[in-house]
Amino acid sequence: MKNIHVNTGAAYDVKIGHSILSESGKLIRSISKASKAAVITDSNVFGLYADKLTSSLEKSGFECCVFSFKAGEESKSLSNLSEIYSFLIKNEITRSDIVIALGGGVVGDITGFAAATYLRGVDYVQIPTTFLSQIDSSVGGKTAVNIPDGKNLVGAFKQPKLVICDIETLSTLSEDIFSDGAAEAIKYGVIRDKALLDMITEDVHKNLDEIIYRCIDIKRAVVENDEFDTGERMILNFGHTIGHAIEKHSKHKISHGKAVAMGMVMMTRACVNDGISQPQTLNDIISACNVLSLKTEYDCDINELIPYILSDKKRASNTINIIASDVTGNAVIVKKDVHTLSDFLSCVSDKQDK
Ligand code: GLY
């Protein structure tokens, strides 16, 4: 089992290995004296892993209760959050107990936010079971729910007490869900680690253990430097400015990872045109996306995306922070006046290259 220690305000470990779900009782006992463990999961994961987790927890002396909600982004809602609070109250979960998120990003984000706010804060553990949540959302303490006005608009920073990444759980993912995570892995390579990008492009499945370790370690380093997202942490949003706009414009028919893949390519094309990025970086991203069957184009007029781009959290008054990669393996933050955005992005379609 590998370990990455995350040295944030409240420090914690990320345990990475194969079939370590069955050791979670012991691992969680090493960081918690709780008598009760409340497991929050969803309808996809419940049947696959909930029993394995609760039997391991019971062996380590935890009394368990499990809440499972309907899988899907719609469940990252205030109404589901309220159901989770009621479940915790009904099961008499106190501040000395522990809450455990077992599942992908939706489960991790809403459970983390419930833990941040229930009784003004209880300890929680992340057990991510998708590629995306293992390398991104389970580490770094961003928790949130969606409101009708937008995604993740209500949230809190609350670091988990422990993260357990059982790589074996990825074997039950469809190729489609797996490739959503692969897009985020490509992002880490482009912003910080060219060798990682090469590994992904060569064979993501063969190199999976090393890829997961490297991605989490990059996230660790960035989050340690900027826990509350006021500077460097913004580089983790490479591809997300256009990506989020595509998600919204497509009414969420295009999933997060796939939209981020398009966003990375489209933004880099604009940056090459503007002299910010080298053409080779664009080629590197496109090659990685092609290998993973991730589309690199979104078929719409860029002007239709601009209103969504302008509602991005990285906008401040009349400027927007553009996250770019000048050379593969390095990220830069470039400020753009919102009035020049349309011109800057006018070349993002590949029709220009043909
Ligand atoms: N997923 C981006 C961040 O954690 O900052």
Question: Residues 331, 272: one domain?
Answer: yes
**The pLDDT of residue 351:** 55
Ligand 1-lining residues (CB < 6 angstroms): 136, 140, 142, 229, 233, 236
Q: Do 251 and 122 fall into the same domain?
A: no
Q: Please give the pLDDT value at position 318.
A: 86
The pLDDT of residue 347 is 87
Q: Please give the number of the atom of ligand 1 that sits closest to the Cα of 142.
A: 4
Task: Answer yes or no: do 130 and 184 share one domain.
Answer: no
- 158, 184: one domain: no
Return all residues near 351 (Cβ < 8 A) that are at least 6 apart. none
Residues 229 and 116 in one domain: no
**How many domains are contained in the chain?**
2
Ligand 1 centroid distance, CA of 9 (Å) = 17
User: Over its length of 354 residues, how does the chain's per-residue pLDDT go in tens digits?
Assistant: 999 999 999 999 999 999 999 999 999 999 999 999 999 999 999 999 999 999 999 999 999 999 999 999 999 999 999 999 999 999 999 999 999 999 999 999 999 999 999 999 999 999 999 999 999 999 999 999 999 878 888 999 999 999 999 999 999 999 999 999 999 999 999 999 999 999 999 999 999 999 999 999 999 999 999 999 999 999 999 999 999 999 999 998 999 999 999 999 999 999 999 999 999 999 999 999 999 999 999 999 999 999 989 887 667 778 999 999 999 999 999 999 989 999 999 988 665 444
pLDDT in tens, 84-127: 999 999 999 999 999 999 999 999 999 999 999 999 999 999 99
Q: Give the up-direction half-sphere exposure of residue 60: CA atoms within 13 A in the CB hemisphere.
A: 21
353 found inside a domain: no
Q: How far is the CA of 104 from the centre of ligand 1 (A)?
A: 15
- Do residues 157 and 291 share a domain? no
168 and 180: one domain? no
CATH of the domain at 38: 3.40.50.1970
| Same domain as 112, residue 20 | yes
The DSSP line for 73-91 is GGGSSHHHHHHHHHHHHHT
Report yes or no on 275 lying in a domain: yes
For ligand 1, the distance from its centroid to the CA atom of residue 236, given in whole angstroms, is 6
Range of the domain at 266: 176-201+225-348
- Å from CA of 228 to ligand 1 middle: 10
Question: Which residue has a Cα nearest atom 2 of ligand 1?
Answer: 236
Same domain, residue pair 167 and 187: no
* 318 lies in some domain: yes
Q: Does residue 211 belong to any structural domain of this protein?
A: no
Model-level pTM?
0.95
Q: 207 in a domain, yes or no? A: no
Atom of ligand 1 nearest to the CA of 236: 2
Residues 243 and 76: their CA atoms lie apart, in Å, by 19
CATH code, domain with 328: 1.20.1090.10
* Closest ligand 1 atom to Cα of 139: 4
Stated as kind and residue range, the H or E segment containing 127 is strand 123-128
Residues 88 and 18 in one domain: yes
For residue 274, is it within any domain? yes
Q: Ligand 1: which of 126, 143, 219 to mutate, most ligand atoms within 8 Å of CB?
A: 219
Closest protein CA for atom 3 of ligand 1 = 236
Residue whose entry in the numeric block shows the structure tokens 């990506």: 243
Ligand 1 mutation pick, 220, 236, 241, 321, max ligand atoms within 8 A of CB: 236
Tell whether 219 is covered by a domain: no
Residue 140 Cα: closest atom of ligand 1: 4
Cα-to-centroid distance, 141 and ligand 1 (Å) = 9
Q: Which of 5, 7, 325, 292 minimizes the C-alpha distance to 192?
A: 325
| 187 shares a domain with 83 | no
User: What is the token pair recorded at 255?
Assistant: 């999933």
CA distance 186 to 173: 18
Nearest to 243 by CA among 186, 308, 193, 155: 308
Q: What is the pLDDT at residue 353?
A: 46
Closest CA to 296 of 224, 219, 245, 243: 243
Asked, for residue 117, whether it belongs to a domain, the answer is yes
Contact by Cβ (8 Å): 280, 328: yes
Contacts 24+ apart (CB under 8 A), 206-212: 208/167, 208/170, 209/16, 209/167, 211/185, 212/16, 212/131, 212/134, 212/135, 212/165, 212/167
Do 10 and 86 lie in one domain? The reply is yes
The 10 Å Cβ neighbour count of residue 161 is: 21
